[in-house]
C-alpha cells in the first residue's frame, strides 16, 4: 500500500457521495465553461486574416443613414486604399424562416468584393458566373449546407429594411472565411429594385498594409468632413466592437450567473469535505496516535479535496471541450453560434477554480483536525 493508495481508498469509501460530489463539481464547471463560451461567441467578433486590413465607412450620423454612391471615386483616390466595394446590409427574411433569418445578406460589387474577401475560396467558374449575372449571389457554405442549397437554386427574400423583395440565383458557394454564413449579391440588383436611389449602405475598404490602415481611416474621415454626407471610417474590429458594446448587460448577467455557479460549487465542496472528514475524526485521531503528524493529515485532506475538485473539472470542463468539438454547433443552433469553442484560457479558468475550491474546502476540516487532540478525537468515537 502507498500513501496515494490510502488517500484514494479514503476518497472512495462512500462511493455514492463521491460520485455525486464529483458530478456536482463537473456539472457546475460544465455550465460555467458553457456560459463563458456563449459569452465569447456573443461578444467577441470573429476575425480572419484580412480583418486587420479592412475598414468600414459609414454615415457619421448613423449606420442606418445611407451614403451617396458618388463617394466611390473620391475614396478610391485616397492613398493607401487598395480596394473598395459598396457594402449594403439587405436584412431580408428568407423564405421559410418565420421571424428571423440567422444569416446576413450584403449587396456588394462582385468584381471588387473578392479583393476584400481575401480568405474566401470560390471556384473561378462560379465567380465568373456571379459577376456575369446581376441577379445572382454567392452563398456561404454553412448556410448552403444548412438549407441544402446548391448552385442554380433560387433564394427568395422578403425585404425587412428595404421596401423590396429580392430573389437570387445561386451562382457559387464560398468557404474559408471566419464566418461562412453570409449571402453576397449585386449592389446593382438592389439599386434597380429600389429605383436607383444613388446610395449605398456602407463602403468596405481594404488598406494596402496594416501600417497604412489607421492613416487611411483618418484620410477618409477628412475627405468628407464638412460635406453633406460626413462619414465615420473605422477598422472592421472597431466597427464590430461597436455592436458588441450593446451586449453589455448580457455580459453582466452571464458574469453574475457564473459567480453564483462558483459560489454554489464552493458550498457543495466545502460541505462534502466537512462531512467526509467529520465522519473520520476518530480515524484521524488513531492515525495521529500511530505517529502521523499534523502536516501529513493536512496533506491527506488537501489531496482528497483537491482530487475531488480536479476530477470534477476534468469531467466538467473536459467534457464541455469534447462535446463542443464533437457537436455541429452551427447546425444545432441554426447558425446562431458559429465557432463555439472552449479555449485553453477557459479550461485554465475552470481548473484554477477547481484548484482554489479544493484548497478552500480543505481549510475547515484541517482547522478541525488541528484543534482536536488525539484523546478528544478518540472520545468522539466512543
Cβ-based neighbour number of residue 219 at 10 Å: 16
| The only residue of 89, 94, 247, 292 in contact with another protein, by rule CB under 8 A | 292
Grid cell locating 230: 460626413
380 binds another protein (CB under 8 A): no
For another protein, give the closer residue by CB, 6 or 100. Answer: 6
Find out whether 329 and 303 touch, Cβ atoms under 8 Å. no
- Hey, what's the cell of 358? 479544493
- Residue window 227-266: x/- pattern of binding to another protein, with contact defined by CB under 8 A: ----------------------------------------
Query: CB burial class (10 A; 0-12, 13-18, 19+) of residue 262?
Result: middle
Please name the residue ranges forming H helices in 44-104. 71-77
Helix, strand, or coil (residue 66): coil
Determine if residue 368 is left, alpha or beta; phi over 0 gives left, psi from -120 to 50 gives alpha, anything else beta: alpha
**Binding segment for another protein among 111-119, 176-184, 287-295, 350-358 (CB under 8 A)?**
287-295
- Ranges within 126-165 binding another protein (CB under 8 A): none
- Contact set for another protein, span 315-344 (CB under 8 A): none
Q: How many residues bind another protein (CB under 8 A)?
A: 26
Q: Is 193 helix (H, G, I), strand (E, B) or coil?
A: helix
To another protein, the closest distance from the beta carbon of 278 in angstroms equals: 16
Report the nearest approach of another protein to the CB of residue 13 (Å): 5
The CB-of-367 to another protein minimum distance in angstroms stands at 16
Q: Cβ closer to another protein: 190 or 285?
A: 285
Pick left, alpha or beta for residue 46 (phi over 0 → left; psi -120 to 50 → alpha; otherwise beta).
Answer: beta
CB of 296 to another protein, least distance (A): 8
Q: Is 60 a residue that touches another protein (CB under 8 A)? A: no
| 282 lies in the site for another protein, by CB under 8 A | yes
DSSP of 292-339, one letter per residue?
--HHHHHHHHHHHHHHHHHHHHHHHHHHHHHHHHHS-HHHHTTTS-S-
C-alpha cell at 291: 505517529
Question: Should residue 371 be labelled a site residue for another protein when binding is judged by CB under 8 A?
Answer: no
- Candidates 131, 254, 286, 363; binder of another protein (CB under 8 A) is 286
Return the C-alpha cell found at 366: 484541517
Among the residue ranges 130-138, 177-185, 216-224, 279-287, the one whose residues contact another protein (CB under 8 A): 279-287
Nearest approach, Cβ of residue 3 and another protein (Å): 6
Residue 19 binds to another protein (criterion: CB under 8 A) = no
Strand residues in 132-212 grouped as ranges (E): 136-140, 154-158, 166-174, 183-186, 199-200, 202-207
Which lies closer to another protein via its Cβ, residue 1 or residue 246? 1
Q: Does 278 bind another protein (CB under 8 A)?
A: no
H or E segment and range at residue 231: strand 231-235
Residue 299 touches another protein, criterion: CB under 8 A: no
Q: Which of 195, 291, 344, 371 binds another protein (CB under 8 A)?
A: 291
Cα–Cα distance measured from residue 199 to residue 196, given in angstroms and rounded to the nearest whole number: 8
Stretch that binds another protein, among 89-97, 99-107, 343-351, 367-375 (CB under 8 A): 367-375
Q: Are 339 and 46 in contact (CB under 8 A)?
A: yes
Nearer to another protein, 284 or 362 (CB): 284
As given in the structure block, the three cell numbers for residue 20 are: 455525486
> Is 4 among the residues that bind another protein (CB under 8 A)?
no
- Contact 33/316 with Cβ under 8 angstroms? yes
Q: What residues make contact with another protein under the rule CB under 8 A?
A: 1-3, 6, 9-10, 12-13, 282-283, 286-294, 296, 373-375, 378, 381-382
Amino acid at each position: 500500500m502507498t500513501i496515494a493508495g490510502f488517500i484514494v481508498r479514503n476518497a472512495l469509501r462512500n462511493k455514492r457521495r463521491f460520485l455525486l460530489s464529483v458530478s456536482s463539481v463537473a456539472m457546475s464547471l460544465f455550465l460555467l465553461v458553457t456560459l463563458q463560451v456563449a459569452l465569447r461567441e456573443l461578444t467577441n467578433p470573429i476575425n480572419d486574416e484580412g480583418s486587420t486590413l479592412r475598414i468600414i465607412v459609414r454615415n457619421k450620423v448613423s449606420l442606418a443613414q445611407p451614403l451617396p454612391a458618388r463617394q466611390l471615386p473620391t475614396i478610391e483616390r485616397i492613398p493607401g486604399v487598395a480596394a473598395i466595394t459598396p457594402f449594403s446590409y439587405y436584412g431580408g427574411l428568407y423564405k421559410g424562416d418565420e421571424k428571423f433569418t440567422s444569416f446576413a445578406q450584403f449587396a456588394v460589387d462582385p468584381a471588387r468584393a473578392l479583393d476584400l474577401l481575401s480568405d474566401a475560396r470560390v471556384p473561378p467558374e462560379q465567380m465568373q458566373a456571379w459577376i456575369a449575372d446581376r441577379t445572382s449571389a454567392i452563398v456561404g457554405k454553412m448556410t448552403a449546407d444548412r438549407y441544402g442549397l446548391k448552385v442554380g437554386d433560387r433564394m427568395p427574400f422578403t425585404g425587412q429594411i428595404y421596401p423590396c423583395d429580392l430573389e437570387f440565383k445561386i451562382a457559387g458557394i464560398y468557404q474559408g472565411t471566419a464566418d461562412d454564413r453570409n449571402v453576397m449579391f449585386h449592389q446593382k440588383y438592389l439599386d434597380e429594385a429600389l429605383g436607383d436611389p444613388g446610395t449605398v449602405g456602407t463602403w468596405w475598404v481594404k488598406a494596402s498594409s496594416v501600417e497604412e490602415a489607421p492613416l487611411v481611416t483618418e484620410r477618409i474621415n477628412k475627405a468628407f468632413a464638412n460635406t453633406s454626407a460626413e462619414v465615420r471610417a473605422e477598422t472592421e474590429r472597431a466597427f464590430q466592437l461597436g455592436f458588441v458594446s450593446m451586449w453589455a448587460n448580457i455580459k453582466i448577467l452571464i458574469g453574475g450567473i457564473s459567480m453564483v455557479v462558483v459560489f454554489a460549487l464552493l458550498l457543495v465542496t466545502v460541505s462534502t469535505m466537512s462531512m467526509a472528514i467529520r465522519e473520520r475524526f476518530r480515524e484521524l485521531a488513531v492515525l495521529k496516535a500511530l505517529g502521523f503528524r499534523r502536516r501529513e493529515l493536512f496533506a491527506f485532506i488537501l489531496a482528497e479535496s483537491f482530487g475531488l475538485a480536479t476530477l470534477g473539472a476534468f469531467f466538467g470542463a473536459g467534457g464541455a471541450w469534447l462535446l463542443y468539438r464533437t457537436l455541429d454547433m452551427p447546425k444545432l443552433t441554426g447558425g446562431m453560434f458559429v465557432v463555439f469553442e472552449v479555449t485553453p484560457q477557459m479550461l485554465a479558468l475552470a481548473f484554477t477554480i477547481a484548484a482554489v475550491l479544493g484548497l478552500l474546502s480543505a481549510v475547515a476540516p484541517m482547522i478541525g483536525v488541528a484543534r482536536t487532540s488525539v484523546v478528544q478525537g478518540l472520545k468522539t468515537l466512543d
